[in-house]
Chains A and B, each alone.
Chain A
């Protein structure tokens, strides 16, 4: 681990100023991802700026009936919040399906969505990775791809030597639920505050896989708003993984049925970002949510899916798996009604 300086500024403004003016600075929240990456050499900051005690650790009611979650609220506290459990079960379930009791006590609302991919090559500094070291190539292509993306990837067999190639997935469960809930992210930057719709927070690799989100250096998430859901709205999160607990998703589904003839679907474990299944949502708008209809809509959503071959058998199984999981999740939600 490279040596670094540590700073604990007095407030958010100072923290943002400090990081914005120091290219080698990073924010430290709960530390569950950053400290891991410091040890691996994946993160090599000059300065660690501790913001854990600077943002709100409260969940407050908004006038429109929504909730505002302070960035310092831990994943455990948020999942236990009675309002979240009653009104946003998709979020409580997503949080509780992530990591472990110990990690949820540490991980924060601001930090969880910014955790980085679990791609084994990203985490191993002795192998090439465009996300970790732009331009070095992508070792994942043709390697161990079981946990990798099927959507938003650059083609059937991406060029492992191209600088833009990245087939990593985003690991957060919470982020998938927040994408389906159309949450709003409060971001404090050197130029002031801005609001980012959660589905736009994360990005596809495009020409720069090193960037996971649209946040600029020095921008800090200070709170996340959950828009109100009508009484009678239903939502659920379904995570499919290799162990019964303490494993990242192979695929996951966040489904929200607001009750106005719409359905919102976000998929985890399938792309570089939480994947809003916009095409499926569009097809299902106003339609009865029969198994047949959902299966058909997901088929349309997945026409662009690209399975990756790999030394571990590849990830082609995710295409039928995510379809089956969406169908089952929506079916169970309908039964709940």
Chain B
């Protein structure tokens, strides 16, 4: 069994190193990068959902002073790689979805760029579009695999037989809405092209990974990676939407290349983010669960229907958690996807697990009701000894401990009866499980250098608010066996060694492992008394890697929901989560991430819903007044706790990743509580007051 790093700085409650810069607003985000004489670019979007551009009229723009360039398919540079049709912008006259970029205008000021963008006139030959996802859409197909490389379908045992003969069964269809990531910082880039320079293209971009972004841009423009620098010290949130480059980055680079020597700033508007920055597909989940008299599952099945865009496949792995969460002799998971004339879906916090822990966790609640069994007990009773999918033992699995501790903290045993009324409010309680796989990326490199009496650690990682600026020094300090104040970590720049994307809750696991390897190599080479300038690198692929165990973080969420007896207004006064996520590197930043995920789950449960109008072919509530995310007043007592979990198999820090698990299961816990309060089972998110009116006195 591998040994974990001896924790000294790890586990301490260190305040954020970037705190002062952030509370003053002096931390510079991509659009704000100080540059000389920036020009401003604005994207022009297609106003038809499907068709072909037949004419472009730039005459009104040509008459404007201060417009520096107008790029359309007619004059934009030809890209070297166009296989990714989301990124192959301005390459032809085709419009594949409403809101697709059809031009970009660059001008001396942002006001002028936007005015000119409004004045460009496009004529379209519009074709009939198909943009509405339905459970029986004729175009549903079976993708070769689903996101993160998982198999599309799995099956074992006899689900139909169990459904026919089991003591209790639930067969219901659940639906999650379309969601938009909506980080507070819009996707933005400051770009500079200087053909004479050694590194001609510099992109200060808001990204979850400077190195992956650089690789993509290099491919698209046919440039060597070394001729591009991507810089991103701070990211104003991403939640997956800045994990892969979107069209805005390509357009920013194109705009800069059209104006050599002149820095160009390009930001998406909030409205444009609903077309161009990815989103979570709506899902339709047909669930079947069957159990014997004692609550032991005899079958569990999920058949998922979801969408992707016609020009690029992204198949969310919604059915994946059903493959491993509970023990059952028979099991089926399937994914079917419709390719529609819609914007390109992509990663959003816990792709797969987030929607995929909705239907199953509500279905289990319905099963508990049918069995007249405590839903906590039902989950405990179906604890698998080993991973049902791979047959491997768990690296560690403490779902039961989370359920028990959560029940204790919440006061579950003394919860009020169904339909309980407290003054004007109906009160209900609900529970659901959480899960997220423990990932470590295959490649990342860190450099350790001794500089002026301190240790500089360089790695091209990203901090999207996750705390990497603070947490990586803690890991480095323990790996080097020095106080954390003696370590300076530098991230967010391709000048630092290659690092993986901040995604899949893998950042700390991956970059931390690389840092530990580098620190070990440094001590091996230079001992405890290095000379100034001594330097060594280490790769994550030199770190021990276990493949004999199934590694996941688990959790349990408990919620109290109040429904106003007159109006159906919903409030969540309490939301408690208990997690088992390995060793927690920094309790302060970890708690914030877990609470943040849970609150986003609460927001998904009660508010979030990108309303698709299939006649127009777009999300119509495309701003933050109409696309509701939870505000401060929606959030009351949200608590995140964790149990001490020692997992030697995941990595040398013993950490499992905490960025995504918080959002999984939350919406189910809320729906389950609403049912207990009102008797109404809401199976399609969000739970809004109109859906519970029928259950009010």
Contact = CB atoms under 8 A, between A and B. Distances in A.
Interface string A307-337: 0000111000100110011011000000000
Contacts of A313: 690
A250 interface: yes
A321 B633 contact: no
Contact of A118 (B111, B626, B696): B626
Q: Which of B566, B612, B614 has the most CB of A within 10 A?
A: B566
A143 B615 contact: yes
Contacts of B609: 312
A2 B693 contact: no
Contacts of A124: 620, 622
Given A2-B118, A321-B567, A243 B616 contact: no
B138 to A, nearest CB: 20
Interface string A228-247: 00000000000011111111
Contacts of A2: 115, 118
B613 A245 contact: no
B47 A126 contact: yes
Contacts of B607: 242-243
A206 to B, nearest CB: 26
A321 B632 contact: no
B118 A144 contact: no
A118 B625 contact: yes
A60 interface: no
A127 interface: yes
A242 B688 CA distance: 7
Interface in A107-144: 118, 120-121, 123-124, 126-127, 139, 142-144
Contact of A247 (B613, B614, B628, B690): B628
B631 interface: yes
B114 interface: yes
A320 B693 contact: yes
Interface in B440-477: none
Given A143-B616, A242-B688, A325-B567, A1 B111 contact: yes
A127 B689 contact: no
B634 interface: yes
B621 interface: yes
B634 A243 contact: yes
A154 interface: no
A41 interface: yes
Contacts of A192: none
A322 B625 CA distance: 22
Interface in A220-263: 240-248, 250
A139 B571 CA distance: 33
A245 B690 contact: no
A245 B693 contact: no
Contacts, number: 90
Contact of A1 (B115, B613, B615): B115
A245 B615 contact: no
A243 B567 contact: no
Contacts of B628: 242-243, 247
A146 B630 CA distance: 19
Given A144-B621, A250-B689, A317-B690, A244 B611 contact: no
B124 to A, nearest CB: 12
A71 B563 CA distance: 39
A143 B634 contact: no
A interface, how many residues as a size bin?
Answer: 35 or more
Contacts of A250: 689
Contacts of A41: 118
Nearest to A324: B566
Given A126-B47, A312-B611, A321 B690 contact: yes
A244 B689 contact: no
A328 B633 contact: no
A273 B571 CA distance: 29
Given A1-B111, A120-B621, A144-B611, A246 B631 contact: yes
A312 B568 CA distance: 18
B630 A243 contact: yes
Nearest to A240: B567
B interface, how many residues as a size bin?
Answer: 35 or more
Interface in A45-93: none
A244 B633 contact: yes
Contacts of B118: 1-2, 41
Contacts of B634: 243-245
A143 B615 CA distance: 8
B693 A317 contact: yes
Contact of B566 (A142, A143, A245, A328): A328
A221 B690 CA distance: 37
A242 B629 CA distance: 10
A243 B609 CA distance: 13
B569 interface: yes
A292 B262 CA distance: 72
A241 B689 CA distance: 9
A241 B571 CA distance: 12
Contacts of B621: 120, 144
B661 to A, nearest CB: 25
B381 to A, nearest CB: 37
Given A118-B626, A321-B690, A325-B566, A3 B620 contact: no
B345 to A, nearest CB: 19
B268 to A, nearest CB: 14
B211 to A, nearest CB: 36
A146 B634 CA distance: 21
A143 B613 contact: yes
Nearest to A322: B567
Contacts of A245: 631-634
Given A144-B613, A144-B620, A243 B631 contact: yes
B559 to A, nearest CB: 16
A312 B684 CA distance: 12
Contacts of B606: 242
Q: Which of B606, B689, B690 has the most CB of A within 10 A?
A: B690
A247 B607 CA distance: 11
A321 B568 CA distance: 8
B566 A327 contact: yes
Interface in B672-697: 688-690, 693, 696
Nearest to B694: A320
A284 B97 CA distance: 54
Contacts of B696: 324
Q: Which of B613, B623, B633 has the most CB of A within 10 A?
A: B613
Nearest to A238: B567
A312 B282 CA distance: 14
Contact of A240 (B612, B613, B689): B689
Contacts of A248: 625
B421 to A, nearest CB: 14
A126 B46 CA distance: 10
Contacts of B625: 118, 248
B114 A321 contact: no
B569 A240 contact: yes
A311 B619 CA distance: 11
A328 B633 CA distance: 22
A3 to B, nearest CB: 7
Interface of A: 1-3, 41, 118, 120-121, 123-124, 126-127, 139, 142-144, 146, 240-248, 250, 311-313, 317, 320-321, 324-325, 327-328
Of all A-B residue pairs in the complex, the 3 with the closest CB atoms, nearest first, are A317-B690, A245-B633, A328-B566
Given A126-B47, A242-B607, A246-B631, 13 more contacts: A139-B615, A143-B616, A146-B611, A146-B690, A240-B689, A244-B631, A245-B632, A245-B634, A312-B609, A313-B690, A320-B693, A321-B567, A321-B690
14 contacts: A1-B114, A1-B118, A118-B625, A120-B622, A121-B620, A139-B615, A144-B613, A240-B689, A243-B607, A243-B628, A245-B633, A246-B633, A248-B625, A324-B566
